[in-house]
Each structure stands twice: as structure tokens, then as C-alpha cells.
Amino acid sequence: MKNSKRSDRQLAKTLETSQPTITRSRALLERELIDGYTVIPRWEKLGYTILAITFVKTKQALGMEERYEAAHKKGTKWLMKQPNVIMSGGCRGMGMDGFLISVHKSYSDFDKFMFDYKREMGELVNDVQTAIVHLGESAILKSLHLKYLAETE
């Protein structure tokens, strides 16, 4: 978590073990625990100024399992086409049962995204509430990063 760019050879030296041992361990971790390697971007430098955390309450009238499955499939299909949605899923609390986290280059970009969301998914949703976070450096007290988890050990 501290530096995923380190080579197996570098890790073996640091951990005082062999490179093949590290390679086998990494392969096991990648099968069992690691879903992928990614960067933690400096959002503002990439042109993104807004992070939106949106909570949704789906209609309970979905009732029958077939209708639920169809709604779930429709929602998943729509979300997977949205490159600015970086995470989405079910949740509990505040009377909501779903969430999505998205990044946007401007407020008008966010507004269009929400308009499209409500147009496409409105028949499935009772309520939508969004908290908007300004991604400017002076506004963020602690950035999104997994390195903090590595510091707990």
C-alpha cells in the first residue's frame, strides 16, 4: 500500500527474503486481496473540481424479484457507462439504500450528470440527496489515499 511500484526484487531485499518468494506472495495477494493497481490522482490538476457523494432511496414498490432484478440490471448498466462514477453500491443509513461517488469538472458538468441520472433512473428512485465537495487543495484536509492504512501497522 505504501508503494505498489516497487519491484519484487526491491521488496525481497527490504524483507530479507528471496525474489521468488515475493513473486509467489504477490501472485497470491493479487488473486485473493488486490483488485487492481491504480493511481491516486490530484483531481484538480486533471481538471476535476467537484466530488459528489450521492445517496439514493430506491422505490420499495419494486416488489417482485423479477422487477428488482430488472431494475438492478438497468442501474448497473447505466452506472458502468459513466466514467466519472468511481464507486457505487448499496448502503444503509439516513433512510437511503444506495450511493454513488462521482467526480466532475464543473458544476454544470455535475448538473448535467444529475439531470441525466434522474431522467434515466427516475422511475426507480424515490429520493436523491447529494453532498458536493470542492476538490481544491485548500479545501481538502486529508486526501483520499490508501497509504494511511499502511501506517496503521
State pLDDT tens for residues 91-127: 999 999 899 999 999 999 999 999 999 999 888 888 9
Tell me what the pLDDT averaged over the chain comes to. 87
Tell me the per-residue pLDDT of 18-32, one tens digit each, with 9 for 90 and over: 999 989 998 998 888
The pTM (predicted TM-score) of the whole model is 0.74
Query: What pLDDT does 148 receive?
Result: 79
Cβ distance 73 to 83 under 8 Å? no
43-139 placed in CATH 3.30.70.920: yes
Residues facing residue 132 across a β-bridge: 52
Q: Residue 45 pLDDT > 80, yes or no? A: yes
Q: For the chain, which residues make up each domain, given as ranges?
A: 1-37, 43-139
Alpha carbons 106 and 126: distance in angstroms, whole number: 26
DSSP SS3 for 135: coil
Closest by alpha carbon to 51, among 75, 83, 85, 96?
Answer: 85
